[in-house]
């Protein structure tokens, strides 16, 4: 009976966390990024000052870790539910490759360049190019986050339907 509830509960939690992560990225896109990138390089300095106490990384790092843990646990728990398996696996793959690795390889170096090194190390033109690349790449990350959340939710629904049929 415990495995039954875990097989249903963990994917539900995963779908919820993935939806929260997608929503947070969407809010960041709509509210934060227009302010951060409106007048590069000056706006990067303003954003750095604004995010002095806490910033997006303070939220997204633990949320990302929780999402990965929930995705892996969901994958293990639903593996026997054929109708849900590939939805959860697909969401895990888009999470790892489309969000985490893409962020680590593409965004983290640009974050370092724009917010840590800044104008002290880079010219205004280099910072503007990095900001444009960041915003362009961010659209892909937002799309991958939507795919992750959508697939996680469909996977949860498939597990739920499987449990109803078995009951």
Range of the domain at 148: 2-166
Number of domains in the chain: 1
Please tell me the distance from the alpha carbon of residue 9 to that of residue 2, in angstroms, as a whole number: 10
Q: Assign 42 a pLDDT band (cuts: 50, 70, 90).
A: very high
Q: What does the angle CA 125 – CA 127 – CA 130 come to, to the nearest 5 degrees?
A: 110
**In the chain, what is the straight-line distance between the N-terminal and C-terminal CA atoms, in Å?**
12
Q: What is the pTM of this model?
A: 0.91
pLDDT of residue 90: 98
Kindly tell me if the per-residue pLDDT of 167 is higher than 80: no
Statement: residue 35 has pLDDT above 90: yes
pLDDT tens digits, 58-95: 999 999 999 999 999 999 999 999 999 999 999 999 99
- What number of other Cβ atoms are within 10 A of residue 11's Cβ? 30
């Amino acid at each position: 009976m415990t495995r039954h509830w875990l097989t249903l509960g963990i994917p539900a939690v995963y779908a919820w966390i993935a939806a929260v992560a997608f929503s947070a990225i969407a809010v960041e896109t709509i509210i934060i990024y227009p302010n951060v990138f409106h007048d590069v390089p000056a706006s990067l300095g303003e954003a750095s000052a604004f995010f002095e106490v806490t910033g997006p990384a303070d939220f997204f790092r633990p949320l990302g870790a929780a999402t990965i843990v929930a995705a892996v646990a969901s994958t293990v728990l639903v593996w026997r539910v054929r109708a849900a398996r590939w939805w959860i696996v697909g969401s895990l793959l888009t999470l790892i490759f489309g969000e985490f690795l893409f962020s680590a390889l593409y965004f983290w170096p640009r974050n370092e360049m724009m917010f840590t090194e800044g104008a002290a190390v880079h010219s205004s033109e280099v910072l503007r190019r990095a900001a444009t690349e960041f915003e362009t790449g961010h659209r892909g990350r937002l799309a991958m986050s939507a795919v992750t959340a959508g697939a996680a939710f469909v996977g949860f629904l498939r597990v739920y339907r499987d449990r109803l049929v078995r009951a």
